[in-house]
Amino acid sequence: MLTADALRRRLGYAFVLCVFVFLVAPLIVVSASSFDSGAYFAARFPPHELGLKWYREIPPKYWHALGVSFTAASVASVISAALGVLAALGIVRGKLPGVEWLRSFFRMPLQIPLVVTGVVFLQFYYSLQALMGVRLAATLPGLIVAYVFVGMPYVVGTVGAMLERLNPRLDEAAAILGCSRWRTFWSVTFPIIRPSIIAGMLYAFVVAFGDVPLSIFLSSSSYTTLPVEIFNTLQFDFNPSVLAISTLIAAMSVVSLWVIQRLVGLDMIPR
Amino acid sequence: MPVTLVDDPRPWRLLLIIPLAVSFVLFAFPQAYFIAASFHENLGYGRIGEEWTLANYVRVFTDPLYVGSLLRTIGLSALSASICLAIGFPVSYVIARMTSRRKATLVGLLVAAMFITPVVKDVGLIILLSQNGVVNQALSVFSKPLGWLGSEAGVVVGLVHFTLPLIVLLLGTVISTVPLSLEEAAHAHGASRARVFYGVIIPIVKPGMIAATLMVFNLAMGAFTTPALLGGGRVLTFPILIQRSVILDVDYPFAASLSTILLVSVFCLNVLAGYLMSRQGRFRRMASPAPAAVSTFVKKAA
């Protein structure tokens, strides 16, 4: 006989379990049906004939798009990391008056719907082209610049949080022992904040890598990112190989997030 | 004086110059130019008129297509946010009160669910909700197959799926501002469960709860991928109309006015949410010696 408390607790756990099933079900369905070699025009879940057919038949345009996405997202995440670390150091260590405003300013890109950011950047690029002849719309650098804009807040967030937790006595100790400021930074501060830099960089990467609403405005037929390619496939012509490539992207995101968890834990999500 | 040398904040301030300049060039200038463009006439071929005009805004608020879409987007987002709050609150409560290692796993799953690209999640939802999909098969006992895809119901399911991880994470940090000892004290003095919930928990978490719901509402308002795919082009939300006016109509000033409306409404609500979250932060400082990382999360969330 269960006590009322134990029963209530079990009901609570059962509810949580149901919600998590709802959350992960689409991913399980996508990955499971990507291994169904028998399906032709529609995805089947549960899969009937297991096989890697659709992985072998991923069309070249997806691989090309994967290359574009991967290049743009990784270059952008490195640039975001460099800028974000500088910003976080300035915010936390600079102790400027009104620093909350500065924080909000750097967090601003997260407050703007990505569709709006996409339209804004498209128009910005067109006006740059008209004024200075620089062509950024529908080019790889154009994508990278936009991804830096949305990626930077994540680095500022993770690195800033780590810097605030860091004990200032460590720096003082190094200084007392005769370290120069430069040396103190590289041999005391930097090793401590390094995991948070990588974590912020991975967040920036994951967000850029999976983005549709921003990239849909900034890509062209020769520079399409993978999520946009999948989006178009789903709207116009379904093919089971889309499941295979989707499974690959999901796996990549899960690995990145697992690395973040190992590095800094997942409780510092900048949002 | 090595100690004051370390404490001197001025050299650190110099580091802000480059990121501030970049953010300014990428943020302030394009936004200003863009909002200004929404007050000009479209001359076709991407050219923009010289004179200032409110015509674009007048068109948005007089054309039933756009007014309807705006109301539909607000309605769908409000419905999704309410469902998220109703489902998310108990889940967050259970997770916040967990002490085992399973808690970390669940939080990890939530973060994974939040950051995996909506496109992939939508592929899965489309398969699940399709005419002969698993959901309709399970429901076949009760009714004939429902047309989820291309309907508002499908979009709401998608939006809830898209925003639920965020609200559970946000509410989790909010609920952990209520010390368990406070609940136990109320129970010990004979308060019923309902009384503890309405008299102790709700007053403390209220600002954070409202803030989390507002953030989720905003996320749903700005969502593009999910309504576009699950709505199948039949449920036209505001972000979809923005994309169409750029890609199909090539009317930038009009797209700019639509975007400005979305931007201003979302932005104001976000500022309000941030303010409420900072009030929740005050409760936290009063309530419990929370681990630094968690309180940072609350601050970041605001």
Over range B186-199, report the average pLDDT. Answer: 84
A146 to chain B, closest Cα gap in Å? 8
Instruction: With residue A191 as reference, give the H or E element that holds it.
Output: helix A190-209
Predicted-assembly ipTM surpassing the 0.90 threshold: no
Convert the pLDDT of each residue in A59-70 to its tens digit. 888 888 999 999
A263, pLDDT greater than 90: no
Residue B267: list chain A partners with CB under 8 A. 111-112
Instruction: Please name which of A136, A146, A129, A122 lies closest in space to residue A69, comparing C-alpha atoms.
Output: A146
Measured between CB atoms, does A24 come within 8 Å of chain B? yes
Q: Is A231's CB within 8 Å of B18's CB? A: no
* Ordered structural domains, chain A, with CATH: 60-264 (1.10.3720.10)
End-to-end CA distance of chain A: give it in Å, rounded: 45
Q: What domains can you pick out in chain B, each with its CATH number?
A: 63-301 (1.10.3720.10)
**For chains A and B, what is the number of CB pairs under 8 angstroms?**
292
The pair of structure tokens assigned to A208 is 């850029």
Q: Which residues contact A97 (CB under 8 A, 6 or more apart)?
A: none
Residue of chain A nearest B253, judged by CA positions:
A123
Which residues of chain A does B244 touch, with a Cβ-Cβ cutoff of 8 Å? none
CB spacing of B300 vs A115 below 8 angstroms: no
Q: Say how many CA atoms lie within 13 Å of B104 toward its Cβ.
A: 8
**Cβ separation B16–A149 shorter than 8 A:** no
Chain A residues 98-157 with a CB less than 8 Å from chain B: 102, 104-106, 108-109, 111-116, 119-124, 126-127, 145, 148-149, 152, 157
Kindly list the residues from chain A whose CB atom is less than 8 angstroms away from the CB atom of residue B297: 161, 267-269
A30 Cα to chain B: minimum distance (Å): 5
Report the gap between the CA of A254 and the closest CA in chain B (Å): 6
Inspect the interface and report whether the beta carbons of B112 and A254 lie closer than 8 Å.
yes
**Which pLDDT band holds residue B220 (cuts at 50, 70, 90)?**
very high
Inter-chain CB proximity A96 and B9 less than 8 Å:
yes
Residue where the block lists tokens 């479209």: B42
* A13 shares contact with chain B (CB less than 8 Å): yes
Contacts of A148 in chain B (CB under 8 A): 22, 26
Measured between beta carbons, the chain B residues lying within 8 angstroms of A271 are 166, 170, 215, 300-301
State percent of chain B over pLDDT 90: 16
pLDDT band at A214 (very low <50, low <70, confident <90, very high): very high
Largest CA distance in chain A: 78
A104-125 confidence digits (pLDDT tens): 888 888 888 899 999 999 888 8
- State the pLDDT at residue B158: 93
When pLDDT is averaged across residues A48-64 and rounded to a whole number, the result is: 80
- What is the rounded (10 degree) CA torsion for A82, A85, A88, A91? -70
Query: CA of B204 to nearest chain A CA: how many angstroms apart?
Result: 22
Task: Please name the residues in contact with B203: beta carbons below 8 A apart, sequence gap of 6 or more.
Answer: none
Task: Indicate whether B253 pLDDT > 80.
Answer: yes
Q: Which two tokens stand for residue A47?
A: 């899969």
pLDDT of B79 over the 50 cut: yes
> Band of the pLDDT at A150, cuts 50, 70, 90?
very high
Average pLDDT, whole number, for chain B? 81
How close does chain B come to A56, measured CA to CA in Å? Answer: 19
In what helix (H) or strand (E) does residue B168 lie, and over which residues does it extend? Answer: helix B152-175
Answer whether A24 sits within 8 Å of B113, measured CB to CB. yes
> Inter-chain contact A234–B122, Cβ cutoff 8 Å?
yes
Taking each helix axis from N to C end, the angle separating B152-175 and B118-129, rounded to the nearest 10 degrees, works out to: 130
Closest chain A C-alpha to B113 CA, distance in angstroms = 7
H helical segments located in B17-147:
17-23, 29-37, 55-62, 64-96, 102-115, 118-129, 134-139
**Distance separating alpha carbons of residues A81 and A153, to the nearest angstrom:** 10
| 8 Å CB contact of B108 and A27 | no
Band of pLDDT at residue A181, cut at 50, 70 and 90: confident
Contacts of A127 in chain B (CB under 8 A): 33
For A18, the closest chain B residue by CA position comes to B91
- Please check whether residue A87 is in contact with residue A204, taking contact to mean a CB–CB distance below 8 angstroms: no
Contacts of residue B184, Cβ cutoff 8 Å, sequence gap at least 6: none
| Mean pLDDT, residues A119-133 taken together | 86
Q: Is A250 on the interface with B (CB under 8 A)?
A: yes
Instruction: Give the C-alpha separation, A186 to A139, whole Å.
Output: 36
pLDDT mean over B147-173: 89
The band of B1, judged by pLDDT with boundaries at 50, 70 and 90, is very low
Q: What is the pLDDT of residues B255-266, one digit of tens each?
A: 888 999 998 888
| Interface with chain A: mutation pick from B4, B115, B149, B275, highest number of A CBs within 10 Å | B115
Contact A242, A33 (CB under 8 A): no
Q: Distance, in angstroms, between B301 CA and closest chain A CA?
A: 5
**Mean pLDDT throughout A40-56?**
71
Instruction: Output the pLDDT for position A266.
Output: 58
Q: How many helices (H) and strands (E) would you count in chain A?
A: 12, 0
